Amino acid sequence: MIQVLRTVKYEAERVKGFGREIMSVPGCEQLASCIQCGTCSGTCPLSVYMAHSPRQIMALVRADFKDEVLQSNSIWLCASCYACTVECPREIRITDIMYALKLRAIREGAYPKRFPIPILAKEFSRMVRRKGRITETLLVMRLFLKANWRAVFGAWRQGIGLVRTGRFVMRHERIERRAELEKMLSSVEADDARAAAKEVQ
């Protein structure tokens, strides 16, 4: 049987400037020199699950296919093992490009509702900002609450095991100088806002 095996990309699906935007992120500059060799896809332990292999993601980013990239499951499957980054013959920091893409997908809400990975990142950063430290058991409970409360039932055995081994921490770990940390993070935010305003002018 003959059927269509490849879809054709259209000019209209491109968001001009997206590739350039990603390549301007510190650490992502080398993307321009990608030779599409596929070493990243070959070395990636998660690529078998990915809708687009890392090599395809690199090509799509460079060609401005913003929506396709930000909605791809590939960026969330990246577990930051840095195998691709170490192997890339063009020294492209693929893991860091994945971070830049995750960041934009979160800011633009371009991920499936209740998808646990971006929710974990958001809850993680919220806890760090409020407490200065992470209490893992409380973070996981927040994740369940926000992403899939039914998952609690699947995890009861593990929860009991953690209690038994004295690792189930219910009290928040936190730093003393939380105000100092908050001031620092606000200062970074304010600088970013100023820079963004300047760019608009």
Partner 1 sequence: MKYAYFPGCSLKGLGRAYEESLLPVMAKLGVEMVELDDWNCCGATAYMSIDEKQACALAARNLAIAEKTGPYDLITPCSACYLVLNKMKHYLRDSPEIRSVVQRSLEGAGLRYSGGTPVRHPLDILVNDVGLDVIKEKVVRPLTGLKVAPYYGCQLVRPYATFDDAWNPTTMDRLLATLGAEVLPFPLKTKCCGASLTGTLPKVGLRLTYILLREAARRGADVIATTCPLCHFNLDAYHDQVERRWGPVPVPTVYFTQLMGLAFGLPARQLGLHRNFVPMKPLPAAHAPA
Name the site residues for partner 1 (rule: CB under 8 A).
25-27, 45-46, 49, 77, 79-83, 85-86, 96, 99-100, 102-103, 106, 116-118, 120-122, 124-125, 128, 132-137, 140, 143, 147, 154, 157-158, 161-162, 165-167, 169, 173, 175-177, 180-181, 183-185, 187-189, 191-192
| Between 90 and 122, CB nearer to partner 1 | 122
Long-range contacts formed by 80-88: CB under 8 A, 24+ apart: 81/45, 83/43, 83/44, 83/45, 84/39, 84/40, 84/43, 84/44, 84/54, 87/39, 87/40, 87/43, 88/39, 88/40
The minimum distance between CB 83 and partner 1, in angstroms, equals 7
Task: List the one residue out of 74, 122, 118 whose CA is nearest residue 98.
Answer: 74
The minimum distance between CB 17 and partner 1, in angstroms, equals 19
From the DSSP assignment, how many helices (H) and strands (E) are in the chain?
Answer: 12, 0
The minimum distance between CB 97 and partner 1, in angstroms, equals 11
| Between 14 and 162, CB nearer to partner 1 | 162
Say which residues have a Cβ less than 8 Å from residue 68's Cβ, sequence separation at least 6.
13, 52, 60
The minimum distance between CB 56 and partner 1, in angstroms, equals 19
Question: Angle formed by the axes of helices 116-131 and 178-200, to 10°?
Answer: 120
The minimum distance between CB 36 and partner 1, in angstroms, equals 21
CA 57 – CA 170 distance, rounded (Å) = 40
| Between 15 and 181, CB nearer to partner 1 | 181
CA-based max dimension of the chain: 68
| Between 14 and 146, CB nearer to partner 1 | 146
| Between 14 and 42, CB nearer to partner 1 | 42
